[in-house]
Structure 1
Amino acid sequence: MLVVGATGVLGTLIAERLAERGARLVLHGRDASRLDGRAGDATVAIDLTDVDAPEAIVERAVAALGGLDAIVVAAGVVGFDGVAETSGQDLETMFTVNALAPMRIISVALPSLLQSAAEGNEPMVLTISGIVSELPTAGLASYSASKAALAAYVAAAGRELRRSGIRLVDARPGHTETGLAERPLFGTPPRFPRGHDPAAVADRLVRAIEEGATALPPDAFAGA
C-alpha cells in the first residue's frame, strides 16, 4: 500500500494503523528526515509540486512492493484569503498539491491497480477531500475549489473503473484537529470550532479500507 502524505498528522496515524495490521507500506512525504525510521518497506521523499513527483512516487512503490494494491492520499495544503488577494502562484500550488498531483498519481498507478484486480485482489484508492468539497466556504474559495475538483474526479473515475474491480473512495470529514489550519500556505486562519479527533478519523478511514466502504460523506464521521 502507498500512503501519500505519510508525515502529516492524519497520514502518520493511518500508516501506523495499517502497519499494525500487517500491511506492506511505501510512505511518501516531502521531508526525508521525517520519514527516517518509519515502519514500511520503503519511503520516497519528494514535493508534490515537483513535475515528476507522481511518476516517482508510484514507480518507487511498485518497485518496493512488486505491485500496488492500494493508495491512500492524505497530503494537502490549506490557505486563507479573499478571492481578490489570492496570488496566481498560491492558487497553482493549492491545486497541484490538493488536486492535480493526486489525480496524476491515480492515473500513473492505474496499470498496477488493473493488474492487481486481474490477479483477484480488490485494489482501492482512498482520497480525503473533506467537507469543503461539498460545502464551499467563504475565505476558503481556492481551498474549497481544489478539494471539490479532487472529489469530482474520484467520483467520476470511480464509476468509470468500477467494472474493472478498482474501488475509489473520497472521504469528506469535517474540520479535523491535525494542525493543518495553523500552517497555512497563505493567509491567517479564522477561529474554528473544535474539530474531529484525528485518531478517531484515522480509525474510521482504516475501517473503511478494511470493510470495503464505497462512500464516506461527512456524517460517516459523526462522533469522531
Structure 2
Amino acid sequence: MTEPLRVLLADDDSLIRTAIDAILRPAAGIELIAQVADGRAAVDLALRHRPDVALLDIQMPVLDGLAALREIRRLVPEVRIVVLTTFGQDEYVAQALAHGAAGFLLKESAADELEYAIRAAAAGNAYLSPKITRQVLDRLPPPPTRPTEDQVKVDTLSEREREVLILLAQGLSNAEIGQRLFVSEGTVKTHVYHVFAKLSCENRVQAAMLAQRTGLLAQL
C-alpha cells in the first residue's frame, strides 16, 4: 500500500488553515500532519517531521515565508515547498522560485488545484497557479533578436499546438483553453502533452517561460 503524501501547512490566518484542512482531510493519498502559524515553527517541524510537501504562506510573523523557504531548503532539501499567496503579490514569485520553491499557489484556488499542486510538487514538478503565470512572465527580460534553440523547438509545433502554448502561457487552464478553441478538455490535455514533449518541458511553467523567451507572447 502506497504511503500518503505528508503535508505541513504554515499560515498565520486561522481561516485559511481551517479551509485547507477541510480540503485535504478527505483527499485520498494526502495527510496533513501539522499546522503552524509562523515561519520559525514551520522550519522546526519540517526538520523534525520531514514532510513530503510544505505549504508556506508568504507573509508570516517571526519568520516570513521566503526566509522559512530558504531555511527548509538548506536544512531538509528533500522537502518540496509550495508557496501560498494572494493575488497581486507576484513580486515574491521570482524570489521564491529562485530559492527552490516547487510551486506558487493562490489561496483562493479551487480544492482540486490545491491537491494537484501538492501532488505535482511531490512528484518533482513545478506548479504555478494559472492566474499568476502571466504576471511572472511579464517580469522576464525581452526575448533575444536572433533564433535560439528554443525557437527551433517552437518551430516544430503544429499551428494548433502553438495556439495551445500561447493560451497556456497566458495562464489559462485546460478547461479554459478548451472553451477558447472549442475542443474538449481531453483534447487540450493531448495537445499539452505533445507541446511538452516537443519543447522538452516538464511542466506548464517551463513551457510558458519558453513561450515568453521566444517572443510568442509579444505577438499578441
In which range does the TM-score fall when normalised by the shorter chain? 0.3 to 0.5
TM-score, structure 1 as length reference: 0.43
TM-score, structure 2 as length reference: 0.44
Larger Rg: 2
Q: 1 or 2, which has the higher helix percentage?
A: 2
**Which structure has the higher relative contact order (CA within 8 Å, separation 6+)?**
1
